[in-house]
Amino acid sequence: MKKQLFALCLLLAGLSLEVTAEEPLVARKPTEMTQEIEFRDPIPFGLEPVAYGTGELSEPVAEMNQQLGDQTLSLKYDPEWGYLREVLKSLNIPEASQLMVYSKTALNPRLIKPSNPRVIYFNDDVYVGWVPGARAMELASVDPLRGTIFYELDQKPSEQPRFVRSEGCLACHAGDSSLRVPGLLVRSFLTDLHGRPISGYSQISHDKPLEKRWGGWYVTGTHGEMNHLGNLFGQEDIDESKTNPAYRANLKQIDEFVDTSKYLSPHSDLIAHLIFDHQVHGHNLITRVSMEQQLHLKSDVEDRLLRYLLFLDEAKLAGPLQGTTDYQAWFEKQGKRDVLGRSLKDFDLKTRLFRYRLSYLIYSDSFNKMPAAARLRILRGIYSFLNATDAELEQKWDVTPAEFPLPERLAIQQIVAETLNDCPEFWK
């Protein structure tokens, strides 16, 4: 039955399990030459060596599941929170990362609404979803070679709680918005009073301006005169926001809309939102690069990943921006630092997200355990950008020296040289 469900999911994702002469991407053997494809073409991730539905996994939730099976790890059940707090603690996910989404664009649409939002917690590699009253919590963990793996954990007390893989998620999580690979989604949809989507955007990243983000989400924090679509539900709110763009902006609490005592935190922190928007699309790009390498396919995804990791198309900010929890301090504390105390996790939050514009995702498992040849090419591309002449910046990267000044590029080069594991020799 599970194999049948998996086959159905692949078909729903626009992929075929059949091998025919008219389907060269599926029929091509791994030993054949690399085949050129378009960036939005489907990826046959059910085939070897990716083999999404089978094989051993090397991501955090799979490792945690193994520890539960070996009884080297145990989870205590809490009558109020189920296993939520224990799971977050075991995965080193801060409660301050909590984000609240009330649009009915995920599992449990019957339960999700503005007065009972779904919450998401996350770190650099794992995402946890939880809804008050739901049967199970949801987890998404990024495997370096197979993409995002989805799990459920039943919230009833058990002597041996285990994470169960959920393959049905691919019906939504392997489409165009996740780059045709098993990936993650961030959407922005204005909703009616019940959380039903009305209009919006199906793919959000750091490239989208704030005024297009966070429809269907609660947002707590201050952002000056910048506007967004968060905290709005119902046609009356939507109409009011059109004449008064600052309506429900710069909120520091949302207790008037939600009984926040039902959640670990009463916040949906602005800074955590910014990180989430950057990270999800970054993970999907990394997954696509990894799968194309394994399956001997080639689109322009590596060029896209390079630009993304360097924030070359990042939407401008008009700060200062500030959240309502200690998430910002927690996030910066996780950063690896060079001898001068500098880190790729140092925020700017005035005109851009980070002070040093190279994504911290280069430290993530999904990046460092991707196929070695692909990882090396990406790092070489980053190094080439950091050492480019003024003419090369403008001609090859469409960036002026003033937009990405040399002192910042030199600082990034030094930070990476001192902090990145398995840093290539050419970089050192």
| CB contact at 8 A, 309 and 361 | yes
What local confidence, expressed as pLDDT, does residue 172 receive? 84
Q: Percentage of residues in the chain with pLDDT exceeding 70?
A: 93
Q: What is the pLDDT of residue 107?
A: 81
Q: What is the rounded distance in angstroms from the CA atom of residue 195 to the CA atom of residue 116?
A: 10
CB 6 within 8 A of CB 174: no
CA-to-CA separations, 344 to 97, 220, 355, 403, 412, in angstroms, rounded: 19, 25, 8, 18, 8
Hey, what are 44's tokens? 């046959």
pLDDT of residue 189: 97
Q: Tokens representing 14? A: 């626009």
Q: How confident is the model at residue 86 (pLDDT cuts 50, 70, 90)?
A: very high
Q: What is the pLDDT of residues 396-427, one digit of tens each?
A: 999 999 999 999 999 999 999 999 999 999 99
Q: For the residues 72-91, what does the mean pLDDT come to?
A: 95
- Per-residue confidence (pLDDT) for residue 21, from 0 to 100: 27
Strand ranges (E), 202-351: 297-298
Round to whole Å and give the CA distance between 272 and 98. Answer: 8
Residue 99 pLDDT > 50: yes
Please tell me the distance from the alpha carbon of residue 245 to that of residue 224, in angstroms, as a whole number.
Answer: 12
Return all residues near 239 (Cβ < 8 A) that are at least 6 apart.
Answer: none
The answer to whether residue 57 scores a pLDDT higher than 80 is yes
Q: Where are the domains of the chain?
A: 278-419
Rounded Cα distance between 125 and 144, Å, is 10
Query: In the structure, what pLDDT confidence band is assigned to residue 11 with cuts at 50, 70 and 90?
Result: very low
Following DSSP, what letter does each residue of 66-125 receive, concatenated? HHHHHTS-----BTTTBTHHHHHHHTT--GGG-EEE-SS-SS-TTT-BTTB-EEEEE-SS
Q: How far is CA 321 from the centre of its chain?
A: 21
Check residue 173 and give its pLDDT: 87
Q: Is the peptide bond before 132 cis (omega within 30 degrees of 0)?
A: no
Query: Is residue 2 predicted with pLDDT exceeding 90?
Result: no
d(CA 133, CA 109): 12
Provide the pLDDT confidence category of residue 174 given band limits of 50, 70 and 90.
confident
Give the closest residue to 108 by CA, choosing from 150, 138, 83, 78: 138
Q: Running DSSP on this structure, what letter comes out for residue 22?
A: T
Region 319-323: mean pLDDT is: 94
Model pLDDT for residues 245-275, shown as the tens digit of each residue:
999 999 999 999 999 999 999 999 999 999 9
pLDDT computed for residue 72 by the predictor: 94
199 strand-pairing partners: 190
